[in-house]
Amino acid sequence: METQPLIVERTLAAPVSKIWQALTDNEKMKKWYFQLENFEARVGFEFEFVGQGRKGEKYLHKCRVTAVEFQKKLSYTWAYENYPGSSEVSFELFPEGDSTLVRITHSGLETMPDSPDFAISSFTEGWTYILGTSLKQFVEEV
């Protein structure tokens, strides 16, 4: 049984060029994403930002760019300071006429035990096996 990453997709009514700018131009990122000091879409670039938890707690996110394909794909590692583990987030853009399918893939979540915002104490390899099996339907119906 394989583990699967979390995938969230949406079609947005804008061309890939506009969305790529929104993902990589820090002035634009500030308006919808997070407040970064700097951002450069190049492999190896490291950045961090403070994200807020549900109870108002602040968590320092630490990220490093791992893949850049102009107007197609942007990936970076995603970890929390003072917590073990590291996951990876990828944004992929697929043109659909004047619109764009945006696919966010968050993999390696299972490496991040005791992630700050989750009450559950820990998680491990195998958590996503639920997401791709008949059990998924079962747990959603419960």
Give whichever of 44 and 137 is closer to other proteins, judged by the CB atom. 137
Shortest CB 8 distance to other proteins, Å: 4
Hey, which residues between 80 and 139 contact other proteins (CB under 8 A)? 102, 104, 106, 109, 117-118, 120-131, 133-136, 138-139
From CA 36, how far away is CA 47, in angstroms rounded?
Answer: 7
Beta bridge partners of 90: 75, 105
Query: What tokens were used for 66?
Result: 């791992």
Give whichever of 10 and 44 is closer to other proteins, judged by the CB atom. 10
Hey, which residues between 25 and 54 contact other proteins (CB under 8 A)? 28, 31-33
Q: Please tell me whether residue 8 binds other proteins under the rule CB under 8 A.
A: yes
DSSP state at residue 98: T
Shortest CB 31 distance to other proteins, Å: 5
3-state secondary structure of 25: coil
Query: What's the chain's length in residues?
Result: 142
3-state secondary structure of 121: coil
